[in-house]
């Protein structure tokens, strides 16, 4: 079993963090496409700004992969929006 880690790149303030994009694994490239096609979750940045109440835990629907189960590898998970994680409690919002 592979271990999934939600990588927090930077904490902006008490409820905003920058995380590595789980869908593209930080590459910025849309999975399964050419290198000039940006990831639909992070818009080619490889990281995503998320507003939430930390800590973040692995998304239970996609198991932290960021991919929507049963769909192609470039389809973001509907539960976590493609970031691979969710806050332990409360809501979250992907800001960009």
User: For 74-96, what is each residue's pLDDT tens digit?
Assistant: 899 999 999 999 988 888 889 87
Instruction: Report how far residue 96's alpha carbon sits from residue 23's, in angstroms, rounded to the nearest whole number.
Output: 14
Which pLDDT score, from 0 to 100, does residue 14 have? 84
| Neighbour tally for 16: CB within 10 Å | 15
Average pLDDT over residues 1-14: 70
Split into its structural domains, the chain has a count of 1
Per residue in 45-74, pLDDT tens?
999 999 988 788 899 999 999 999 999 888
Domain boundaries, position 77: 1-96
Which pLDDT score, from 0 to 100, does residue 12 have? 85
Rank 9-13, 39-43, 53-57, 89-93 by mean pLDDT and report only the highest: 39-43
């Amino acid at each position: 079993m592979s271990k999934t880690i939600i990588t927090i790149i930077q904490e902006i303030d008490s409820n905003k963090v920058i995380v590595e994009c789980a869908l593209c694994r930080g590459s910025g490239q849309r999975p399964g496409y050419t290198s000039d096609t940006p990831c639909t979750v992070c818009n080619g940045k490889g990281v995503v700004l998320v507003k939430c109440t930390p800590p973040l835990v692995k998304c239970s629907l996609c198991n932290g992969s960021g991919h929507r189960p049963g769909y192609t590898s470039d389809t973001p998970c509907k539960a976590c929006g493609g970031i691979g994680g969710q806050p332990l409690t409360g809501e979250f919002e992907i800001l960009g």
